Structure 1
Amino acid sequence: MSKADERGHTFSDKPKPIPDTGWRGQPPVPSSAGGESEPDYMHKPPYYWTSEGDLFQPQYKSRCWCGNVEFEVHGDPLDAKYCHCTQCQSLHGAPFQWAVIFPKTSVRLVNNIDESLHFFSTETGTSAHHVPCKISCNTCRAPLFDEGRNTVLAYPSSFHFPPRQPVPHNFQPSCHIFYSARIMDVVDGKCVHAHVPLLFRVPGSAYIHVAFTCRPKWAGHKGHSELVDESTIISTTSDI
């Protein structure tokens, strides 16, 4: 069902269904217990694994900067978000992280040239497959995704979409989380109207109008924390 906050933002607390991609091994969600307890994890989702009946149908490709590590992804993400937690700020060297969420069984490793796949555990501070953990390339150091206990949080900047095509709608973040830890304001949530017209320029083309969707800002996790007011107000204009 959908809920609304006091400012009229709506969000759904009903999870999207998990697609059947043909994983018939055990456990149903590998490494769901966390830690380093999963045996032979490299031959289970989201790494090398076989889909029964070819139910896994790749829709997207995600790869590191040098191309040594590449994953393929089935279907659209369950959700997308901006995370402002201090861990994401530090590990990404950026004000916040943009992530799209997929079931583990919707992700599969297809290339690991020179054994470049690298794990880093934020819980142990070691280069180990200790879930939850960070996945990156050991050659070019590009980050690819976070492996959680039940899902993969992938980074859209590592996806390769058709040239000059916009990022798919399902990759657009539905909200900000851990906004109380932000180091910069992002003014996209407290709007008079549901959509704010902005001008956007794609390299090599003219300016085009786009509709900018307002996004709620949660102090912590989505739907399980307080909503945060924006502290900055800007005005938009078409006179550029």
Structure 2
Amino acid sequence: MATNGHVKPQNHPRRKAHETHEIPDTGWRGELPSMKGGTYEKDYMHKPPYEWKSEGELFRPKYYLQCWCGHVAFEFHGDPLDAKHCHCCQCQRLHGAPFQWAVIFPKTSVRMVRNEGNALHFFSTEDQTAEHSVPCKVSCNVCRSPIFDEGRNTVLAYPSSFRFKDNRIPLDFQPTAHIFYGQRVMDVPDGVPKWSGHKGESKLMQEIEEKEGTLPKYKGKPYTYTKGEKEAQGPDT
């Protein structure tokens, strides 16, 4: 059943595949790039998740992502392994938003198809430098659109930058969890499991708590306008 537009994770037809994290063969035959983290990887721009050749043409694009201005674009093979909302303080600050929405793909399921004017930009959250030091944030240096996080094994891409047919978000892009919900700045009563830390590695939390500093102030209940607020908004309120 749907809850506020979301399909509950337990009713997801491919939930089992998400849990087992099946990695498709997309034709990459080398070691997984940057899996040790840091800056050691040489010629990383010609390895996943950037420009690379698929042996046997096993890489079959299913999804397309580009930054706002179009200088940078990527294509994705298959469906994401999982999707989540992250409420950690770092995601809040780096995205300028209450939480981050991301879908998780294996690095070898991602390939760059455009980098016009060498617009690709990296930022290392660990080293706090503008270089390719994994894990790192990847964005466009022209329009500043965030594109994805490159981790040691996976890419966490931002669905808002994907170009979906008819603008309809696929089921596999809908989140199966809220993580680091204990650091949230707003409650999200959507029926999706809330974890205090990482999914499956921390405790489950209530969606709504009487806690100072979180929004919405009505705590999921219908808000009753005061007389002054009604008068300020006019007779049609």
Q: CA deviation at 1:226?
A: 0.7
State how far apart, in whole Å, the 1-side matches of 2:100 and 2:206 are.
20
Partner of residue 32, structure 1: 35
TM value normalised by structure 1: 0.80
Partner of residue 48, structure 2: 45
Q: CA deviation at 1:150?
A: 0.4
State how far apart, in whole Å, the 1-side matches of 2:19 and 2:75 are.
26
State how far apart, in whole Å, the 2-side matches of 1:167 and 1:138 are.
26
State how far apart, in whole Å, the 2-side matches of 1:60 and 1:14 are.
21
State how far apart, in whole Å, the 1-side matches of 2:128 and 2:34 are.
18
- What secondary structure does 2:111 align onto? strand
Please list every run of 5 or more consecutive structure 2 residues that lacks an aligned counterpart in the other structure: 1-8, 210-218, 223-237
Amino acid at match of 1:133: C
Matched positions, count: 200
Partner of residue 206, structure 1: none
Q: CA deviation at 1:145?
A: 0.1
State how far apart, in whole Å, the 2-side matches of 1:180 and 1:15 are.
26
The structure with the greater share of residues assigned to strand is 1
Q: CA deviation at 1:222?
A: 0.1
State how far apart, in whole Å, the 1-side matches of 2:169 and 2:105 are.
16
Q: What are the Cα deviations for residues 73-106 of structure 1, in whole angstroms up to 9, with x where unaligned?
A: 0000000000000000000000000000000000
Matches for 1:80-95 after TM superposition, within 5 Å: 80-95=83-98
Residue of 224, 228, 238 corresponding to 2:201:
224
Matches for 1:64-213 after TM superposition, within 5 Å: 64-163=67-166, 165-188=167-190
The structure with the greater share of residues assigned to helix is 2
The share of aligned pairs that are identical, in percent, is 64
Please list every run of 5 or more consecutive structure 1 residues that lacks an aligned counterpart in the other structure: 1-8, 189-213, 236-240
Q: What are the Cα deviations for residues 154-189 of structure 1, in whole angstroms up to 9, with x where unaligned?
A: 0000000112x420000000010000000011111x
State how far apart, in whole Å, the 1-side matches of 2:160 and 2:53 are.
27
Given the alignment of the two structures, is residue 19 of structure 1 paired with residue 24 of structure 2, yes or no?
yes
Largest Rg, 1 or 2:
2
State how far apart, in whole Å, the 1-side matches of 2:19 and 2:171 are.
19
Aligned alpha-carbon RMSD (Å) = 1.7
Amino acid at match of 2:22: P
- What secondary structure does 2:165 align onto? coil
Q: What are the Cα deviations for residues 3-39 of structure 1, in whole angstroms up to 9, with x where unaligned?
A: xxxxxx85868322100000012x1x11000000111
Residues 187 and 234 in structure 1, CA contact (< 8 A), matched pair in contact too: no
TM value normalised by structure 2: 0.81
Q: CA deviation at 1:123?
A: 0.4
- What secondary structure does 1:223 align onto? coil
Residue of 56, 59, 71 corresponding to 1:56:
59
- What secondary structure does 2:112 align onto? strand
